[in-house]
Each structure stands twice: as structure tokens, then as C-alpha cells.
Structure 1
Amino acid sequence: MSQGSVDAAHTRMSVPTGSLKQRVLRAGGWTAGGFAISQTLRIVSTLIMTRLLAPEMFGLMSIAVMVNVITALLTDLGITQNIVQSRRGEDPTFLNTAWTVQIVRGFIVWGLALVVAIAIYFGGREGLLSPDTVYGNPVLPWVLAVSSFSIVIASFASTNTAIAERHFNQRHLIRIDLTSQIVSLVAMVVLGLWTGSIWSLIAGQLAGGVCGTTLSHLILPGERNRFGWDPKALGEIVAFGKWVFFSSFVGVFALYADRLVLGGLVQASVLGQFAIASTIVGAVQGVFQKLYATVVMPALSETARNDRPRLREVFYRLRVPTDLALLFVAGMLAASGKLVIGILYDHRYGDAGWMLQILALSLVWVRYGASQQLYVALGEPKYVAFLNFARSFAVFAALFVGFRLGGVAGAIWAFSLHQIVNGLMTYYFNASLKLNDFKRELLVLVALPVGYGVGLCINLLRPT
């Protein structure tokens, strides 16, 4: 490609406007608003589909989603993060190579999912899987095989989605995500009314994927992707991606550790209570993880590329507001968890209240997710891999020891506190990068008792 072509391509890219602070605030607003609408649509979708389909269909779909997530994480190369942080992130040659690798990976993930589906099929056929279990359901292999094709569809998405994140252009990304969700919802409801089968869920998933991928090519500004294979670009993708791959490989076990361990130690009813409490904590955690990935990481990447001496200052300017919010919410839920559960659910879910109070403390460690995005922005994903490896070991050890010493409550306490290991490691890594500011680290902690006090006041609203 000639220099003139490259320059022309770059002029079509979404050029950032405004100061870094203005763009961060604008992107943060779009991200928070989009996340709120997305969650509302998800709740509406669940309320409608649970009235159209039998409960076992959601059980089958949950297994399919879990397999898809695990296989995707086990082959993760961090292509989007690489484009956001790389100095070559807007080079068409680099982008086309990344797009090609992304598609190849999509087919590999689908192939792995098909292998799992075939194994389940023959396991059921040979009587190795009980027909009374989800894994022994004869429909599961077909559900898994078809639903996993959504990964192939997503792999064709334009790399301009990563460019949009790089330039804080969350407006276009949110529009694409919400439109895809609406298309998915409509497809599910229409087919659900017509067939009343699990295939309505899968059709919605595939329809949403096709919509999102298509819109990424039609709406987002930038160079249109074409197949390409540049050895130098591939080398950079692999060099960055190998640590993301290792990080995801070990991190996937930490992601599902609570369900894997507690599922073998407690009754289904207890695990159900835990799942309710985890859902509430997970919703809070999801908001901040989304902000870290779509706002904090691009901001830190731009600063690392263009103004490295200011990186620590920018890092803490981004972190302090989110730290204060997370610690405040953690304290508030730790005090008022029982009231929250009592308002949202009936008396059968009462134990989820005290579980929520304990699990709320796990939000204290979510704030270190900003540091993980910092390492990616600096092109050092190996630090994230080390943290995930330590977390995987710590969470399994903590859960078993906690359960042995204190039963279910002990296991939940252990799960909520196990990431103290990651916190200490984060301070060590940040010290080596000369990015610690212990004064600010200590000052934000005041939000935890303040939130707890507010939670106690909220408890006064409890009807007698």
C-alpha cells in the first residue's frame, strides 16, 4: 500500500477531538448510560422469555454459553487490546492482519466447541452421561454446535470497533450494541411465540451477532477490512497475545472457581442462594469492568504513547473517582445486603441476604482492575497473566480452606477476601513501574466506612 493510500485511510479514521479529560468524561457517560439500558433490555428479555419457554431450556442454554465462553477465553489473543494500545494500531496492514487472525481464531473456537458437542453426543449415546442431567439431554450437543457459530459471526466484526475504543468513540459502539440487543430480543420473542422451543434463544443470539457484525462495517468510520497477512504485524500480535492467552487460560478457572468448588460441596438450594447474591455483586462489578476496559485502558494507552511522564497522574485521576464509588457501594451493601434481598426477593431467598453482605467486600478488590488495564496499555500483559495465575491458585485454596474451617459462610468469606494476594502483587508491580501513590491509595479508603454508615441508615427504612 502506498504512503498516499495509508494517509487517505488514516483520514477516514475517527480522529479524536477535545482534551483527554473531555473525551474520557464523554466516553464514560456513554458507557454508563449504555450499560444501564443494556441491563434493562436484558431484564426485559428474561422476563418475557421465561414466560414463553420451559425452565430446562435456560439450563441447556446456560451450559452452551459456558462452553462458548471457556473455549473463547482459552484461545484469547487480546487483539482488540493490542489495537488500542499499539503504535501501529491505525496501520491498515496491521489491522488487516489482525482481522485475518481474528477470523482464523473464530473458526478454531467453533471447532473446539464442536469437539465438545461431539464428545457429549457420544457420551450420552454410550450411556456415560445420565439422561436425567443437563449433560445427558440429547438436545444439548445440537444446541452447542449451532450456538457456538455465533463466535464465527463475531470474528468477522470490523477492527474499527477497536479503533473506536482507541478514540473513545463509545457513542457508535453503544448504538451498535443496543441495536443488536433489540434485534436479538425481537427474534427471540417472535420465534418463542411461534415455536416455544430453545431454538428461539439461539436464533436471537445469531441474529444479534449478524446485526452487530454488519453494523460494525457500515457505521464505524475507518479503513474497510480485507484479508491480509503481514509477518511483522503477525509477530507483534503473537508477542502481545501470548501473555493474554496465558492470562485468559489461567483466569478462566478463577472466573468459575466459586461455582466449580461450591457446586461439589453444597446442596443446589444453597448454591442458588449464593447465585442470587453473586448476581447483584456481579452487576456492580460489571459496570466498573466495562468502564475500565472501554474508557480507562484507551486513556492510559494514549498517555503512555504520547505523554509517558504524566502516566501516574492520569492513572490516579481516573482511579480515584471509581475507587470512591466502588468502596462506597461495597460498604453500603455490606450493611444493607439483607434489606436489598428482602425487597427484591421473597422469603425463600432470605439466606442470600447475609451472603450478599459478605460478598460485597469482594468489590474492594475490583478497583485493581484499573491496574490490569494499565499493564495492557503499557504493552505488558505478562503482569496480568501473573495476577490471574496467582488468583486461580488463591481462590481454590481459599474456598477449600474456608469451607473446612467455617462451612458455607467460611467459604464465602474466603472467596470475598482471596484477592488480597492480587492487591499486594499489584502494589509490587506498580512500584517497579514507579506508579504507586500511597497517599491517594489511603485517602480513598474513607469511602468504605462512609458507605457502611449509609447502609446502616438505609436499614432503618426496613418495615417492622
Structure 2
Amino acid sequence: MVIVNTIRTGVALLSDIGINQNIVSNPKGDTPDFLDTAWTLQVIRGVFLGTVCFLLSSAAAQFFRAPELRYILPVAAMFFLFGGFFSTGHSLLQKRMEIKRLSYFEIGDATLSLVVHVVLALITPTIWALILGSAIMAAFSMLLSFQMVPGLRHRVLIHRESARELIHFGKWILFSSLIWFASMNFDRLYLAREIPLALLGVFGIARTLADTVTQVAGRGGSLLIFPMVSAMQADGADVRRRLRQSRRTLLLLAAPGLALFLSLSDLVIRLLYDHRYQEAGVLLPILLLGVWFAILSTVNESILLGLRKPATTAFANLAKLLVYIVGVPIAFHAYGIVGAVAFFSLGEVAKYATLWIIGRRQHVGFIRDDVLLTGLFLLAAVLFREVAHVIGLTGTIAELFPWVRLPGALS
């Protein structure tokens, strides 16, 4: 499933023109012509991507040495077909910052997804429970999307001026998305050919738990900061002045929460998974260190995107990708998967540094705040771990990062 999701994401980003970002940031994003044009382009894209996913099935099965992909990927192609017809109501609510209404729909969708996947897993405890569950939910989410904004309906339309603006802004989103995919999935693509699938699954567990935290921060950035900055229609210095306190508050909430998760990460693995997956407890703390810098980067990306600077994300992800390409193979062959994972976190640091350099030129740098907040995060993690150790829940902080076991820690 790690491989399927990687292919699914990669194919989706082949033609990403940032329809959601366009609707939120463009002053004309809520006009009927603009919305219909965006929806029409999205439909075309969905049909195209579904076809590509179907045609890739045999080649992917051969490349990853997983014959079952020949049968799985054609079904996964339905994700794109249903996604292509998804209403623009979600983006419109985001633009209007109707977070409460948007959250109701998303909570309902997530709850049903949980029920569907659990029922299918009880019926068939195989990968088909995940594949069919995702396909069913893609269809339901598509239908639900048309109920988000009462009266919103779409027609097939290509309005020239709207299409021109979508593509002009979207060309940087496309480039950024391709670089983002390479940087976000380099680990899965590289490790899928270097380690057994069972160990890849262990890594997938640790990566999924770490990504969950990043996605929560991403939600805050995309639903609050990005539309807020877009609506300001101000320059960087003014945005920095008006947004500094809100940004600081958001990160002050995130720091202790992530620190607590980091301090108890090996305990979380022990509670959630049986003995076959306990090695994920070695990987998760290392990934969570990188997650902190990913959260900082997500907030900064949202600000720069609100200033209509989509190219900055591409450059930042390119810096992260270069760290991966150069460092991960060397670290993997020297220290195994633990060394590779350490470089995955180091890549997040490189991305943050790139965004800070670009942000400073746009007068939206927050380096002093970030240094203090990083110190707070690390201190909180150590304190939480010591308290957990004293009351008998976990081992010491040294046991959370068993660096002396790096060579051959996981094989």
C-alpha cells in the first residue's frame, strides 16, 4: 500500500496546476466563470490521470517486483476519475474562511471512511480492504462535495481569461508539485528497492504517524494562514507585522504537543502494534525531529503562497531533495535504514533554511521566534521524557535515541 500511495501521489502531481490555491488566492476565484473553468480543467485532468494509472500497472509491477500491482493499480485508477469530478465547493469555503462548515463535512467524511475501511478489513483483511475502501470513499466524497455550498453547480466551460490565469499561476504549482513529490517520496521510492517489503511496511508505519502531525499543521496553514494572507492584499512587511502574533500562538500550541508525542513515541508503537512492528519505535523519534522543521516550513510556505510566491515552495523542496539524493544512499549503506531516516529529517532542516532565506527577502522572516520555539520544543521533549521515565512509563531519553546501535540497528 505504501507503493500504491506513492504511485498515486506521483501520477496526481504530473498535472497539478494548483486549482485549489488558484481559487483561494485569486480575487476572481469565486466568480462563476472562474469556478466552472477550474472544475472543467480538473475533470479533464482526472480522466487523464486515471488512464495513466491504468496504463502504468504492468510497468510498476515489474519495477517494484510486486506482481500484484498489475491488478491493484487499475482499481486505484478510480481514485482519479472520482476526484476529477470533485466540486470546487471545498476551495470556495476555504477562500471564505468558513472553517466551521468545512470541518463538519470533513469530519463526516472521515468518520464514514473509518467505518467503511474497518468493515472491509473485517470482511477481507488484505490490501483490497484499503484499495476498495479508498475507491468507495472517493466516490462518496465526490458526491458530498456538491453539498458543501448550497446552489453551487458546475457546467463544462473554458473561459479564456480564467484559464489563462489558472495556468499562469499553476505553472509554478506544477513545478513545485513535481519537486514536492520527489522530495516527499524519495524515501519510499529508494527504500522500496533496497529493503524487504516487510521492513518497508515498518518504515511506512513510522512515516505515517509522523506525517499525521505534519498534516495537522498543514491544515492550519492552508485553512487559516494562506487565505488570511491572501485576503490582506498587503506587502511582506505589513503581513509580518499583522501575522506575527498569530503565527507565534499557533507554533506555541504545536511545540509542546509534538514534544509530548516525541517523548512517548516508542510507547505509542508498543501500545498500537504487536512485536512484528516494534522496530518502528526506533525510526519514529528521528522522523519527529524533522517534523518540527516541517511544521515551521508549512507555516512559512502558507505565508509566501498567500503573497502569491508559489515558486518559493519549489526551491525549498529542491533543497530538501538534493540533501536526500546526496546523503541518503551514503547514510543507508553506512548505517542502514536508521542512517537514511536521519537524513530524511535533515532534509526538512534544509527546506526550512531555504524558505527562511527567501522569506527574509520578502520581509517575512521569523528567525528569532523560530530559534526560541525550537529550543522550547527540545526542552519540552526532554522534560516530558524524564517525567515519563520517573513514573515508569518509558525508558530514559538515551533509550529513545539509541545512537550507539546505529550500525545495523535495523536490517
* Deviation, structure 1 residue 461: 2.6
* Deviation, structure 1 residue 462: 2.5
Unaligned runs of 5+ in 2: 395-411
* Deviation, structure 1 residue 74: 1.8
Residue 49 of structure 2 corresponds to 109
Determine the C-alpha separation between the residues in 1 that align with 2:125 and 2:387: 46
* Deviation, structure 1 residue 405: 4.2
Determine the C-alpha separation between the residues in 2 that align with 1:415 and 1:66: 16
Determine the C-alpha separation between the residues in 2 that align with 1:269 and 1:204: 22
Determine the C-alpha separation between the residues in 2 that align with 1:441 and 1:188: 39
Write out per-residue CA displacement over residues 429-463 of structure 1, whole angstroms, 9 at most, x where no aligned residue.
11110112433233323322123212221222325
Determine the C-alpha separation between the residues in 2 that align with 1:378 and 1:211: 34
* Deviation, structure 1 residue 395: 1.6
Match of 1:396 among 325, 332, 339: 325
The one-letter amino acid paired with 2:75 is V
Residue 407 of structure 2 corresponds to none
Residue 225 of structure 1 corresponds to 154
* Deviation, structure 1 residue 325: 3.7
1:409 has 2:338 as partner: yes
CA-based RMSD of the aligned residues comes to: 3.0
The one-letter amino acid paired with 1:136 is P
The one-letter amino acid paired with 2:383 is G
Residue 352 of structure 1 corresponds to 280
Unaligned runs of 5+ in 1: 1-58, 124-128
Match of 2:66 among 135, 138, 141: 135
The one-letter amino acid paired with 1:69 is T
What does residue range 43-442 of structure 1 map to in structure 2 within 5 Å?
59=1, 62-117=2-57, 119=59, 129=62, 135-137=66-68, 140-184=69-113, 201-221=130-150, 223-268=152-197, 270-303=199-232, 305=233, 310-366=238-294, 367-442=296-371
- Alpha-carbon spacing, 1:258–1:329, altered in 2? closer, same or farther (3 Å): farther
Determine the C-alpha separation between the residues in 2 that align with 1:277 and 1:191: 24
Is the CA contact 1:332–1:452 (under 8 Å) kept in the aligned structure 2?
no
* Deviation, structure 1 residue 167: 1.4
* Deviation, structure 1 residue 270: 4.4
1:457 has 2:391 as partner: no
* Deviation, structure 1 residue 112: 1.0
Residue 43 of structure 1 corresponds to none
Is the CA contact 1:278–1:359 (under 8 Å) kept in the aligned structure 2?
yes
Identity %: 27
Determine the C-alpha separation between the residues in 1 that align with 2:130 and 2:196: 29
Residue 11 of structure 1 corresponds to none
* Deviation, structure 1 residue 235: 0.9
- Alpha-carbon spacing, 1:188–1:75, altered in 2? closer, same or farther (3 Å): same
Single out whichever of 386-395 and 411-420 deviates more from structure 2: 411-420
* Deviation, structure 1 residue 386: 1.1
Determine the C-alpha separation between the residues in 1 that align with 2:370 and 2:127: 49
- Alpha-carbon spacing, 1:180–1:395, altered in 2? closer, same or farther (3 Å): same
Determine the C-alpha separation between the residues in 1 that align with 2:335 and 2:44: 47
Is the CA contact 1:158–1:213 (under 8 Å) kept in the aligned structure 2?
yes
Single out whichever of 267-276 and 408-417 deviates more from structure 2: 267-276
Determine the C-alpha separation between the residues in 1 that align with 2:117 and 2:255: 38
- Alpha-carbon spacing, 1:398–1:329, altered in 2? closer, same or farther (3 Å): farther
The one-letter amino acid paired with 2:6 is M
Determine the C-alpha separation between the residues in 2 that align with 1:219 and 1:463: 44
- Alpha-carbon spacing, 1:195–1:99, altered in 2? closer, same or farther (3 Å): same
Write out per-residue CA displacement over residues 390-432 of structure 1, whole angstroms, 9 at most, x where no aligned residue.
2112122221232344343322222222222222211211111
Single out whichever of 266-275 and 205-214 deviates more from structure 2: 266-275
Determine the C-alpha separation between the residues in 1 that align with 2:91 and 2:273: 40
* Deviation, structure 1 residue 185: 5.4
Residue 54 of structure 1 corresponds to none
Determine the C-alpha separation between the residues in 1 that align with 2:282 and 2:124: 41
Find the structure with the greater CA-based Rg.
1
Residue 399 of structure 2 corresponds to none
Taking structure 1 as the reference length, the TM-score comes to 0.75
Determine the C-alpha separation between the residues in 1 that align with 2:51 and 2:203: 34
Write out per-residue CA displacement over residues 195-245 of structure 1, whole angstroms, 9 at most, x where no aligned residue.
888666555433322322223223414642222111111111111111111
Single out whichever of 382-391 and 213-222 deviates more from structure 2: 213-222
Is the CA contact 1:97–1:230 (under 8 Å) kept in the aligned structure 2?
yes
Is the CA contact 2:236–2:364 (under 8 Å) kept in the aligned structure 1?
no
Write out per-residue CA displacement over residues 64-101 of structure 1, whole angstroms, 9 at most, x where no aligned residue.
43322210012111100110011111121111111111
- Alpha-carbon spacing, 1:290–1:460, altered in 2? closer, same or farther (3 Å): same
Is the CA contact 2:321–2:347 (under 8 Å) kept in the aligned structure 1?
no
Give the count of matched residue pairs: 392
Is the CA contact 1:176–1:212 (under 8 Å) kept in the aligned structure 2?
no
Residue 48 of structure 1 corresponds to none
